């Protein structure tokens, strides 16, 4: 019983495999419906208007177009369109340049009536090779800083194709333009640009003019590339760039004191407490860009205007500020970049205990603060005698008087300070000094 079951399974498996093979074979046949001899490129379903655009290079007497039939018993009649003039009842034919053919395939396939039509348009590219003579940049350029028009001296014969109903369409020829440009990746780097573009009226519009001096090189169209035909390329004289671009590079003065809130902790920080000192540098496509104007504002009108490739500014007021860079040149081209700086509102807090015992923790009486631009603090003992004074909020009192440790107990502080937002602080309080071990 097991042997019979296995025999039936193998028979079913063979039938399934045979059916799959037939489907795959039929799919392959139908995917490749025509064959063309010689140097050629076949474009399937070209622009959804013709089934096949056949681009050939040199149509000879031996050139042929054949239909791949799913069954040899099927017959083919060829007609020249759009007038549908009969050409041949053979499976193949010798094509002519700029001619359309309609292959009508009829017969029986897999026991069913079979009718199919294939439209084929043929072009001999060799007759229409472009002749590129020169490429130049007109002077002056009429388009301005962000547009560039190249003048092309060339002969580019027109090619076209037609649909079976007689509609004519131009075959668009896309040429390749090569040049160098700058790309930003934390710094300006030279990159190679390659663009596919259509040539109209012997002019080439470059909608992204380069930021650097470069040569433009134009090479043959996509049909030459698809046919593996190497056409001569042409190169322009050196183009002198006029388009300006610039980025703002910032470097923040980092402060490491632990008692300051919102303190900058890296050189790229663009927010924090005042005073926040930042160095601004223009990273531009010099020498194309040769003039730099800086504006700092907290509203519509700038309150700081400076020139030069770099400048340093200390933000000592709370608020949100915009730093704008305008890079220019004598061709009246410019570019603007900007960064936003956020300075926090002021605050100040005094602790009520500290332990100057040398363990590295809470060894000084220090205030916690943000955006304090003026500061004075006095320490008094219980009899009202001043024993210490300092004016830098980043510093503190280490529990000594004239270099010697004072006794444990209560002391008093008086703080006068001013925030970057204009708030005045007058703080008074007591501070407990605890040592925890003998000094």
Sign of CA dihedral 426, 428, 432, 435: positive
What pTM was estimated for this model as a whole? 0.73
CA distance 380 to 406: 12
pLDDT at position 271: 85
pLDDT at position 18: 39
pLDDT band with cut points at 50, 70 and 90 for residue 9: very low
Q: In angstroms, how far is the first alpha carbon of the chain from the final one? A: 100
Architecture of domain 32-126: Sandwich (2.60)
The pLDDT tens digits for 197-234 are 988 778 888 988 999 999 999 999 999 999 999 999 99
Q: Assign a CATH topology to domain 247-343.
A: Immunoglobulin-like (2.60.40)
**Pairing assessment for the beta strands 148-155 and 131-136 based on DSSP bridges:** antiparallel
CA 80, chain centre distance (Å):
49
147: pLDDT strictly greater than 90: no
Give the residue-averaged pLDDT of 328-343.
94
Architecture of domain 347-433: Sandwich (2.60)
What is the Cβ-side half-sphere exposure of residue 300, based on CA atoms within 13 angstroms?
0
25: pLDDT strictly greater than 50: no
244: pLDDT strictly greater than 80: yes
The pLDDT tens digits for 248-281 are 999 988 776 667 777 676 666 688 888 899 999 9
> Cβ of 280: how many Cβ atoms within 10 Å?
22
CA distance 174 to 171: 10
Give the residue-averaged pLDDT of 372-376.
95
> Cβ of 367: how many Cβ atoms within 10 Å?
23
> Cβ of 184: how many Cβ atoms within 10 Å?
11
The pLDDT tens digits for 84-98 are 999 999 999 999 999
CA distance 52 to 44: 5
The DSSP code for 54 is: E
pLDDT at position 31: 61
Q: What DSSP line would sit under 341-359, residue for residue?
A: EEEPPPEEE--SEE--SSS
pLDDT at position 14: 47
pLDDT band with cut points at 50, 70 and 90 for residue 32: low
17: pLDDT strictly greater than 50: no
- Return the percentage of the chain with pLDDT > 90, whole number: 75
Give the residue-averaged pLDDT of 20-44.
68
Residue of 304, 312, 313, 273 whose CA lies nearest to 419: 273
């Amino acid at each position: 019983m097991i042997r019979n079951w296995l025999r039936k399974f193998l028979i079913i498996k063979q039938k399934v495999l045979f059916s799959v093979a037939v489907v795959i074979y039929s799919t392959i046949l139908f995917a490749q419906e025509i064959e063309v001899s010689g140097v050629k490129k076949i474009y399937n379903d070209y622009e959804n208007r013709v089934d096949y655009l056949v681009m050939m290079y040199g149509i000879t007497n031996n050139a042929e177009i054949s239909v791949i039939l799913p069954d040899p018993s099927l017959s083919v009649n060829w007609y020249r369109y759009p007038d549908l003039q009969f050409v041949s009842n053979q499976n193949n034919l010798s094509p002519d340049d700029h001619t359309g053919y309609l292959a009508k395939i009829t017969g029986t396939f897999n026991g069913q009536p079979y009718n199919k039509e294939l439209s084929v348009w043929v072009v001999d590219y060799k007759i229409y090779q472009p002749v590129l003579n020169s490429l130049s940049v007109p002077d002056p350029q009429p388009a301005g800083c962000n547009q560039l028009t190249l003048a092309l001296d060339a002969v580019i014969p027109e090619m076209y194709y037609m649909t079976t109903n007689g509609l004519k369409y131009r075959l668009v020829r896309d040429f390749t333009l090569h040049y160098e440009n700058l790309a930003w990746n934390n710094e300006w780097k030279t990159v190679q640009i390659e663009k596919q573009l259509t040539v109209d009226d012997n002019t080439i519009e470059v909608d992204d003019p380069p930021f650097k001096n470069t040569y433009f090189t134009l090479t043959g169209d996509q049909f030459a590339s698809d046919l593996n035909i190497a056409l001569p390329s042409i190169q322009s004289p050196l183009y002198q760039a006029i388009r300006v671009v610039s980025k703002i590079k910032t470097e923040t003065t980092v402060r490491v004191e632990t008692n300051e809130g919102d303190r900058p902790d890296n050189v790229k920080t663009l927010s924090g407490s005042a005073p926040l000192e930042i160095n601004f540098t223009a990273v531009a496509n010099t020498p194309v860009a040769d003039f730099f104007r800086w504006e700092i504002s907290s509203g519509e009108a700038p309150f700081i205007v400076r020139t030069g490739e770099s400048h340093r500014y200390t933000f000592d007021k709370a608020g949100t500020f915009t730093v704008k860079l305008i890079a220019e040149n004598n061709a009246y081209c410019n570019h603007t970049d900007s960064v936003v700086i956020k300075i926090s509102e002021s605050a100040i807090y005094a602790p009520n205990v500290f332990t100057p015992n040398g363990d590295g923790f809470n060894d000084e009486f220090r205030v916690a603060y943000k955006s304090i631009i003026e500061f004075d603090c006095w320490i008094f003992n219980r009899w009202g005698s001043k024993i210490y004074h300092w004016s830098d909020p980043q510093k503190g009192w280490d529990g000594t008087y004239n270099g010697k440790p004072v006794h444990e107990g209560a002391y008093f502080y008086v703080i006068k300070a001013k925030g970057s937002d204009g708030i005045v602080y007058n703080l008074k309080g007591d501070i407990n000094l605890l040592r925890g071990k003998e000094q």
